[in-house]
């Protein structure tokens, strides 16, 4: 039994070494990805829930790895955050998203996800200002998406950062709402423009009265505090209908459109006719 235990341990040790090695390899590859232009942005439409007219697009990062193909962000952003690579990568995302959006019709805004690491970076305000200036995008068309986790570390600093961002004229969305652990009190203190209801509350909402109750309460809460509310992960007509009936302002999800590569022409042709 002792022998078996040792073997099991050796097995886990091997697995661990393998995992560390994989991580290092990925970190190295990711370092080159920027220079080799392997990163790309896909854009997913966001629409008014009543008219279904498209109001903007969220930029979603993809890594086109030379051997592994297209890699989803959840599989490499943690490595980017731990290694600090998220700073140059995030800078690229911001600049690329603004540059592309500046070619779209003016009625479309662009949403950009910010990592908590970026949010705490002392150069964030400068980076955002720079991306706007270089692209010529009007600030009102840029929306940054942040998660609750950035608010729990240093309240005053976070509030200060948010205020400075707002002074640039951009909007802020609170992403993945309902999945974090912080209290609701920050909703009153922080200047969010939009509340994004997480997909975990939306999928299954039509079969689950409890989820419907949560969604209803979140929409009321957000709107009572002067925010617009958008639901993510809307995949079916009944889900859209429920959200529309609850006066959810906007929706995003496969029902409206999948994340896709976009150029100016595509943006122009995105209209209700395509839905």
Q: Name the residues that contact Ca ion, by CB under 5 A.
A: 113, 145, 175-176, 198
Q: Is 74 in the site for ligand C2E (CB under 6 A)?
A: yes
Q: Is 77 in the site for ligand C2E (CB under 6 A)?
A: yes
CB of 15 to ligand C2E, least distance (A): 26
CB of 175 to Ca ion, least distance (A): 4
69: helix, coil or strand?
strand
Number of residues engaging ligand C2E in binding (CB under 6 A): 22
- Answer for the pair 235, 255: CB distance below 8 angstroms, yes or no: yes
DSSP assignments along 16-49, one per residue: HHHHHHHHHHHHHHHHHHHHTT-EEEEEEEEEET
Nearest alpha-carbon partner for 62 in 234, 261, 266, 256: 261
Q: Is 38 in the site for ligand C2E (CB under 6 A)?
A: no
CA distances to 184, 217, 222 from 181, in Å: 9, 17, 17
CB of 26 to ligand C2E, least distance (A): 16
Nearest alpha-carbon partner for 249 in 260, 238, 240: 240
Cβ neighbours of 40 (radius 10 Å) = 13
CB of 113 to Ca ion, least distance (A): 5
Footprint of ligand C2E on 98-127 (CB under 6 A): 113, 115
Q: Is 87 in the site for ligand C2E (CB under 6 A)?
A: no
DSSP assignments along 159-196, one per residue: HHHHHHHHHTT-EEEEEEETSS-S-TTHHHHS--SEEE
Span interacting with ligand C2E, options 150-158, 179-187, 227-235, 263-271, rule CB under 6 A: 227-235
Span interacting with ligand C2E, options 157-165, 216-224, 229-237, 239-247, rule CB under 6 A: 229-237
Footprint of ligand C2E on 146-185 (CB under 6 A): 175-176
Which residues are at the interface with ligand C2E (CB under 6 A)? 44, 59-61, 72-74, 77, 90, 93, 113, 115, 175-176, 199, 232-235, 253-254, 259
């Amino acid at each position: 039994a002792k022998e078996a235990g040792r073997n099991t341990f050796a097995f886990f040790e091997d697995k661990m070494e393998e995992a560390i090695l994989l991580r290092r390899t990925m970190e190295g590859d990711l370092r080159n990805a920027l220079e080799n232009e392997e990163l790309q942005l896909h854009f997913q439409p966001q629409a008014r829930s009543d008219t279904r007219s498209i109001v903007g697009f969220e930029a979603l990062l993809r890594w086109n790895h030379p051997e592994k193909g297209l890699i989803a962000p959840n599989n490499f952003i943690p490595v980017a955050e731990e290694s600090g690579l998220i700073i140059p990568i995030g800078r690229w995302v911001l600049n690329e998203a603004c540059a592309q959006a500046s070619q779209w019709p003016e009625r479309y805004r662009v949403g950009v996800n910010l990592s908590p690491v970026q949010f705490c970076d002392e150069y964030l305000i400068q980076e955002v200002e720079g991306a706007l200036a270089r692209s010529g995008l009007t600030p009102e068309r840029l929306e940054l998406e942040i998660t609750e986790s950035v608010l729990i570390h240093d309240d005053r600093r976070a509030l200060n950062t948010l205020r400075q961002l707002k002074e640039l004229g951009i909007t802020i969305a609170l992403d993945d709402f309902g999945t974090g652990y912080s209290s609701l009190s920050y909703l009153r203190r922080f200047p969010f423009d939009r509340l994004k209801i997480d997909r975990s509350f939306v999928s299954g909402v039509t079969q689950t009265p409890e989820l419907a109750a949560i969604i209803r309460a979140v929409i009321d809460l957000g709107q009572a505090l002067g925010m617009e509310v958008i639901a993510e992960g809307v995949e079916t007509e009944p889900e859209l209908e429920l959200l529309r009936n609850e006066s959810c302002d906007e929706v995003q999800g496969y029902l409206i459109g999948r994340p896709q590569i976009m150029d100016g022409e595509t943006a122009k042709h995105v209209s209700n006719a395509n839905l």
